[in-house]
Amino acid sequence: MQDVPTFRQVRFLEKRQQILDSAARLFSQKGYEKASLEEIAARLKLTKASLYHYVRSKKEILFHIQVQAIEEAVRALHEVIASDRDPVEKLREAVRSHVRIVTKRPVTNLLKDQELILPRKLRTRLISERDHFEKIFQELILEGVEKGVFERGNWKMGAKAALGALNRIPMWYNPKGALSAEEIGDAMAEFILRGFGVTIKTGGDRQGEEKP
């Protein structure tokens, strides 16, 4: 039986989450390099010394923010894969879901060479989490390839290219722009589906049923 967390443990996790959320907003507003631990603490009415009770460094904060985003993306992808949708609709929903996450958590993709900012131990763990997500995404694509719905070609490179395009959306996305996150998700889904050989008809219908 799994141990029930104590009240103190729950309070610790809640406060640390508040710190991560506040830091993510500050990183998005000022940039990682310009944001300071003092500012993060001040926003939560904490001292810098008390902040160290929950996190050891700004780099550790960045690591946890990034890992949480990947974990959310993995959970969403598992839900899509476990559904009874056909491969086309699974990929469509996976893309929409990923766009919602990266536009909601833009700081996870706004840093150039973000892995290099982290110490080696944290960097290795982050890359492992990211590779795990990419492997699941590839499994979703492979299902469509094996059922004859997606073109085989170099489908692994296609999967990498699709994720690369999705993860760069925060670089240009503007919440006040002409397109909402949902509209971008729909457009990206059609773009990626076309890349795997699915013909999208006018009105969002598509050609390419499962082949026997």
Residue ranges per structural domain of the chain: 1-55, 62-207
Do 1-55 and 62-207 agree at the fold level?
Answer: no
DSSP 103-162: HHSGGGGSSTTHHHHS-HHHHHHHHHHHHHHHHHHHHHHHHHHHTTSS--TTHHHHHHHH
- DSSP-derived secondary structure letter, 52: T
E-state strands within the chain: 199-200, 206-207
| 62-207 to CATH, choices 2.40.50.150, 1.10.10.10, 1.10.1040.10, 1.10.357.10 | 1.10.357.10
Classified by CATH at the fold level, domain 1-55 comes out as: Arc Repressor Mutant, subunit A (1.10.10)
One digit per residue, the tens of pLDDT, for the chain of length 212 reads 567 779 889 999 999 999 999 999 998 888 888 999 999 999 999 999 999 999 999 999 999 999 999 999 999 999 999 999 999 999 999 999 999 999 987 676 655 456 678 999 999 999 999 999 999 999 999 999 999 999 999 999 999 999 999 999 988 999 999 999 999 999 999 999 999 999 876 555 555 455 44
Give which of 94, 124, 106, 108 is closest to 61, Cα–Cα.
108
Distance of CA 199 to the CA centre of its chain: 27
- Tell me which amino acid residue 80 is: V
Output the pLDDT for position 205: 54
Rg of the chain's alpha carbons, rounded to an integer? 20
d(CA 21, CA 104): 12
Output the pLDDT for position 5: 79
d(CA 133, CA 75): 9
- Provide the token pair at 8: 């103190």
Task: Please enumerate in sequence order all residues whose Cβ is within 8 A of that of 112, keeping only pairs 6 or more positions apart, or say none.
Answer: none
Q: Which residue has the tokens 């909601």?
A: 104
Output the pLDDT for position 111: 55
For 23, 60, 101, 136, 194, the CA distances from 14, given in Å and listed in that order, are: 14, 17, 21, 29, 43
* Total-model pTM: 0.85
- Provide the token pair at 183: 């509209």
